Amino acid sequence: MGKPRILLALFALCVILEPCYSYGQYRSLRRMFQGLKASMPSEADPGKPLFLTPYLKAGEVEKARELSLVGPLPGANVKSYSGYLTVNETHNSNLFFWFFPAQVQPESAPVLLWLQGGPGGTSMFGLFVEHGPYVVNQNLTLAVRKFPWTSKYSMLYIDNPVGTGFSFTDEKGYARNEDDVGRDLYSALIQFFQIFYEYQKNDFYATGESYAGKYVPAIGYYIHIHNPAAKIKLNFKGVAIGDGLCDPEVMLGGYAEFMYQSGLVDEKQKQYVQQQTALGVIYIQKKKWIEAFDVFDSLLNGDRTSYSSFYQNVTGCTNYFNFLQCQEPPDQEYFGKFLSLPEVRKAIHVGNLTFHDGSEVEKHLLEDVMKTIKPWLAVLMDNYRVRSFALQGDILVSASL
Ligand SMILES: *[C@@H]1O[C@H](CO)[C@@H](O)[C@H](O)[C@H]1NC(C)=O
Ligand SMILES: *[C@@H]1O[C@H](CO)[C@@H](O)[C@H](O)[C@H]1NC(C)=O
Ligand SMILES: *[C@@H]1O[C@H](CO)[C@@H](O)[C@H](O)[C@H]1NC(C)=O
Ligand SMILES: *[C@@H]1O[C@H](CO)[C@@H](O)[C@H](O)[C@H]1NC(C)=O
């Protein structure tokens, strides 16, 4: 991944707001290749989805904001806004956002976009499990998080790309590469900053983790290219990437040693990992993207395979986001049920729309997974602040890779 420039402003994300190690416990990336299912309500009234683009087009900005104000939620409430931004009319592509102004000095606090990984992981994971102002209790009420990123930053959570979580599109609108991802996100950001215009002047950062190691450079690069000629300028300052999958060809080489040094595999198993990752690299060099993906998948995720992964077989663990926790903590799944509650759906303006588990998104991006984003990341490093952070215990996209 090269040498990311470390800078203090974003370092604060980790150190001041939440000590990296303690948040490691819950910081697990949104599953790299699995989504979350949240069923749809049937009985009570979930309200109607709110599409803001028509209001923006009609010049009714104040109305758009007013309508997007999130209604009462069970348990705890902080001021926030949510709704849909239409990013591609041809394919009825709509991105769902949930925006939390900073709790302190929102008028000058940086605005951070947060993108989960996947492909197809909902950013509601980041919101409810990692750093948003809310945590979901087992009884499906909300409590406030002790050290949310929203205490110092305005947070914009977007379900990205279209087809992820509450975001949706038709069959032809799915992103097939990082150009598509950047283009759709950029459209959403431009609209967002027109509706929430007073935040336009604030510093803006794109952040995310895991597979967002591709998304974050994609939107950063898209902004870099389009900002100079754009009517609405984004005050883009940089990016922060946690446990990012940015350059699989280079990263694959690190798995065997990392797993061995962590005591997860023995010498013989290490040799197998080495041999498989070397095979993955060969496929990448031959641009056999699906074959490369399948090697990686069979080794770690077991997502497309009908059998359990090598990792699962040798460790007996199903959680690969933190090797100190063999199984994923059950409280990481509460938010799925919470988002199915009709009163919650009404409050956040999604109505009865399906919450997608991201599997369609993954299918459409399968050829993209093992491709590198390095050239775009390099441009960002030359022009903006770039922070890379990682948790030691993450196996899927570990720090040492
Ligand atoms: C809409 O999506 C299609 C398919 O990805 C793409 O070719 C087209 O350029 C998009 N249109 C806009 C306005 O972004
Ligand atoms: C739900 O659980 C939380 C945390 O355990 C508790 O504080 C709250 O009183 C419970 N609320 C209801 C309605 O049971
Ligand atoms: C894991 O074990 C199962 C059952 O023995 C086997 O079918 C599967 O091939 C193994 N996975 C890998 C990647 O070796
Ligand atoms: C949502 O409700 C509308 C209007 O009642 C209905 O036409 C539509 O089919 C429903 N959508 C889903 C996904 O159930």
pLDDT tens track for 28-58: 233 443 445 555 555 789 999 999 999 999 9
CATH of residue 383: 3.40.50.1820
Predicted confidence at residue 21, as pLDDT, reads 27
- Tell which residue, 151, 96, 138, has the closest CA to residue 332: 138
Predicted confidence at residue 29, as pLDDT, reads 32
Ranges of residues in the chain whose predicted pLDDT is under 70: 1-42, 399-400
| 175 vs 163: CA distance, rounded Å | 9
- Tell which residue, 358, 8, 71, 48, has the closest CA to residue 215: 358
- Asked whether 313 lines ligand 3 (CB < 6 A), one says yes
Residue 37 has a CB neighbour count (10 Å cut-off) of: 14
Mutation probe of ligand 3 site: the residue of 307, 314, 315, 320 with most atoms within 8 A of C-beta: 307
| 278 vs 5: CA distance, rounded Å | 29
- Asked whether 306 lines ligand 2 (CB < 6 A), one says no
The closest residue, in CA terms, to atom 10 on ligand 2 is: 139
- Indicate whether 197 belongs to any domain: yes
pTM for the whole structure: 0.90
Coil/strand/helix, residue 401: coil
Mutation probe of ligand 2 site: the residue of 73, 135, 136, 139 with most atoms within 8 A of C-beta: 139
Ligand 4 atom nearest residue 353's Cα: 13
239 forms bridges with which residues in the sheet? Answer: 206, 386
- Tell which residue, 42, 23, 55, 2, has the closest CA to residue 196: 55
Instruction: Say how many Å lie between the CA of residue 260 and the centre of ligand 2.
Output: 43
The closest residue, in CA terms, to atom 7 on ligand 4 is: 352
- Indicate whether 300 belongs to any domain: no
- Indicate whether 39 belongs to any domain: no
My answer on whether omega of the bond before 119 falls inside 30° of 0, hence cis, is yes
Instruction: Say how many Å lie between the CA of residue 352 and the centre of ligand 4.
Output: 6
Q: Cα dihedral sign for 226, 231, 235, 240?
A: negative
- Tell which residue, 255, 252, 228, has the closest CA to residue 323: 255
Angle between helices 178-195 and 61-68 (to 10 degrees): 100
| 148 vs 16: CA distance, rounded Å | 10
Ligand 2 atom nearest residue 141's Cα: 1
Secondary structure letter of residue 93 according to DSSP: E
- Indicate whether 288 belongs to any domain: no
- Indicate whether 292 belongs to any domain: no
C-beta separation of 221 from 182 below 8 A: yes
- Indicate whether 315 belongs to any domain: no
Number of domains in the chain: 1
Terminal CA-to-CA distance of the chain, rounded, Å? 8
Which stretch of DSSP H or E encloses residue 86?
Answer: strand 81-88
| 227 vs 235: CA distance, rounded Å | 9
- Indicate whether 293 belongs to any domain: no
Predicted confidence at residue 390, as pLDDT, reads 86
- Tell which residue, 269, 253, 276, 260, has the closest CA to residue 313: 269
My answer on whether omega of the bond before 161 falls inside 30° of 0, hence cis, is yes
Instruction: Say how many Å lie between the CA of residue 137 and the centre of ligand 2.
Output: 7
Distant-in-sequence, close-in-space partners of 64: CB < 8 Å, separation ≥ 6 = 52, 55, 56, 83, 195
- Asked whether 41 lines ligand 4 (CB < 6 A), one says no
Secondary structure letter of residue 386 according to DSSP: E
- Indicate whether 268 belongs to any domain: no
Ligand 4 atom nearest residue 351's Cα: 1
Q: Tell me which residues have their CB closer than 6 angstroms to ligand 1.
A: 88, 90-91, 173, 180, 183
Domain that holds residue 137: 52-246+330-389
The alpha helices in 92-247, defined as continuous H runs, are 124-125, 178-195, 212-226
Burial 273-303 (b: 16+ CB within 10 A, else e): bbebbeebbebbeeebbebbbbbbbbbbbbb
Q: Cα dihedral sign for 174, 178, 180, 183?
A: positive
Instruction: Say how many Å lie between the CA of residue 136 and the centre of ligand 3.
Output: 36
- Asked whether 309 lines ligand 3 (CB < 6 A), one says yes
Number of H helices and number of E strands within the chain?
A: 16, 9
